[in-house]
Amino acid sequence: MSGERTAAIRLYLINPCNPLVSLTRVKESRWNRYRVWKPLSLMVLAGLTPADWEISIVDENLGVPDYSAMPRPDLVGITAFTSQANRAYEVAAHFRALGVPVVMGGIHATMCFDEVAQRVDSVVTGEAEGIWSGLLEDARHGSLKRRYDGGLADMNAVPLARHDLLVGGYAFGAIQTTRGCPLNCTFCSVTAFNGTQYRQRPIPDVVREFRSIREKLVLIVDDNLIGTRTEHIARAKDLFRAMAQANLRKEWIGQATINFADDEELLALAAKAGCRGVFIGFESPSPEGLAELGKKSNLLKGRDFRASVRRIQRHNILVAGSFIIGLDVDEPGIGKRIAEVAGHYGVDNLNALFLTPLPGTRLWDQMKLESRVALDTFPEDWKYYTLTFPVARYKHLSTDGIIEEMISCDRDFYSMPRILRRVWSSFWHRRKPLICLAGNLSCRRNLRLDCKAYADFQRQHGNGHDWVKQS
Ligand code: B12
Ligand code: SF4
């Protein structure tokens, strides 16, 4: 872009797809529609953009458009998780070949600045609130800098996201009420990216933004919706009270640590504010595993996970439990063990993932040091960093072995008798048996697709990178 322009300036904000990501396989199961989520980062960027920019948000998860048939933009902004980096570079190359400047931001750009800087015109590291309007001014004058570092934003500066720009095609809307996480688990990027300081948006902003969301169902994307300290919980209660009082008529799901279960008033307020489901990271069935991952909050002495899950469910809130396979303490049989433990805890859904070193995490540093990052032909291999492929060398499990563990975990947990038992329990406790059934059947159906993806992966990568064989 060169020279000053007074007419509207065209900005494309793009969320690249990853063809290997099962979450978007809507065709295979209608219920997968409920797993395609809105790219909130781009709606926030749009909220920060002055009115004289004409903005189009493109979410490739809904289908890859024919960019050459679209009007030429003046500037392209791309967001990407690590698993989307390859596709992000393809999109960037397309527009750069047309002479359109490309800016990339988000978690991958922040963690892998050097790699990204080689492929786009300008890289934004950190949160965008403090630098986006200046960047747009620079773009307008044809003087984009190579790097803008937004650091951590002041939560008063977080704009209302432009929910009006992405309508149709989604089952859930999305909103954020806090950033950062007071915990610092070894495998997680959140603390490295958003900091340990737990920052909360002003409650009136959240309520106002909620009102602008069209969808009845909403994902609250916060990594840790309630926090850990007394003052965090007090704020969460205030937020839920304000949401209930505003009579938003929304139902929402969120992410929290297991301490969500420890406060009856908090649970009652969350349910009243529309909470219908919560993702909880249990991570490992053993205290040794939890210690290895630095998940201190789950190590509380005397914690009874089963009773905690029940307490949450009593408020008509579904619990989806997440576990990780591939820890140094994990031995053959871990898959079945996780399925058993998740069944014992009584979670409604189980999400088991492979231990994955994501750039910028402590796990990454450790595995790099020990030469255990197996799939390291970057950027090509980033597409496997979805947590659904074994990309590392695992201490007691070969590549084939860990895949078998994952399959046996899912097969056990999603076996028909176990699904029916869960649905019956949900019915008996007057919860939501139909939603429980649909969610479980959808996961069971996806298992077949996962097995095919593993077979393709094994064909391409074999067992050549096994740690077990080498050590
Ligand atoms: C919601 C969410 C999802 C949704 C995605 C919704 C979507 N389409 O965006 C779902 C559930 C689908 C999902 C899936 C996955 N996720 Co996820 N997800 C999140 C979560 C919790 C919130 C993201 C969000 O909306 N944040 C709110 C926005 C406002 O913040 P933001 O994205 O950081 O954007 C700000 C800045 O980064 C910057 N910015 C961002 N993009 C751009 C672009 C430009 C041009 C500019 C200038 C600036 C900029 O400006 C924004 C405003 O400050 C994050 C954690 C987190 N704190 O970010 C994990 C997170 C991003 N996910 C993660 C992972 C690993 C995954 C998966 C790979 C695995 C999994 N099973 O969870 C999959 C794969 C997805 C894929 N397509 O490949 C990791 C990513 C780490 C990494 N290095 O990539 C995170 C950080 C969580 C973690 N524990 O480590 N995820
Ligand atoms: S509690 Fe969750 S969001 Fe917080 S550091 Fe651990 S895994 Fe990340």
| Test site for ligand 2: of 178, 186, 191, 322, most ligand atoms within 8 A of the Cβ | 191
Q: Helix %, strand %, coil % for the chain, to 5?
A: 45, 15, 40
pLDDT tens digits for 99-127? Answer: 999 999 999 999 999 999 999 999 999 99
pLDDT tens digits for 320-336? Answer: 999 999 999 999 999 99
Lowest pLDDT segment from 217-231, 294-308, 368-382: 294-308
Is the confidence at residue 411, as pLDDT, over 70?
yes
Question: Which is more confident, 191 or 152?
Answer: 152
Ligand 2 atom at minimal distance to the Cα of residue 182 = 4
178 lines ligand 2 (CB under 6 A): no
Q: Please give the share of the chain, as a percent, with pLDDT higher than 70.
A: 94
pLDDT-derived band of residue 434, with 50, 70 and 90 as boundaries?
confident
Is the confidence at residue 4, as pLDDT, over 60?
no
Q: Which pLDDT belongs to residue 332?
A: 98
Q: What is the mean pLDDT of the chain?
A: 93
Q: Which pLDDT belongs to residue 3?
A: 44
pLDDT-derived band of residue 27, with 50, 70 and 90 as boundaries?
low
Residue 440, classified by CB atoms within 10 Å of its CB into exposed (0-12), middle (13-18) or buried (19+), is: buried
State residue 466 phi and psi, 5-degree precision: -70, 135
Q: Which pLDDT belongs to residue 392?
A: 97
Residues 6+ apart with CB under 8 A from 127: 150, 151, 152, 153, 179, 194
Is the confidence at residue 365, as pLDDT, over 70?
yes
pTM of the model: 0.95
Look at ligand 1, atom 29, and give the residue with the nearest C-alpha.
41
Question: Which is more confident, 313 or 297?
Answer: 313
Q: 53-59 and 275-283: which strand pairing?
A: unpaired
Q: Which pLDDT belongs to residue 196?
A: 82
Look at ligand 1, atom 53, and give the residue with the nearest C-alpha.
127
Ligand 2 atom at minimal distance to the Cα of residue 297 = 1
Closest to 250 (Cα-Cα) out of 306, 303, 189, 177:
177
Q: Is the peptide bond before 379 cis (omega within 30 degrees of 0)?
A: yes
pLDDT-derived band of residue 445, with 50, 70 and 90 as boundaries?
confident
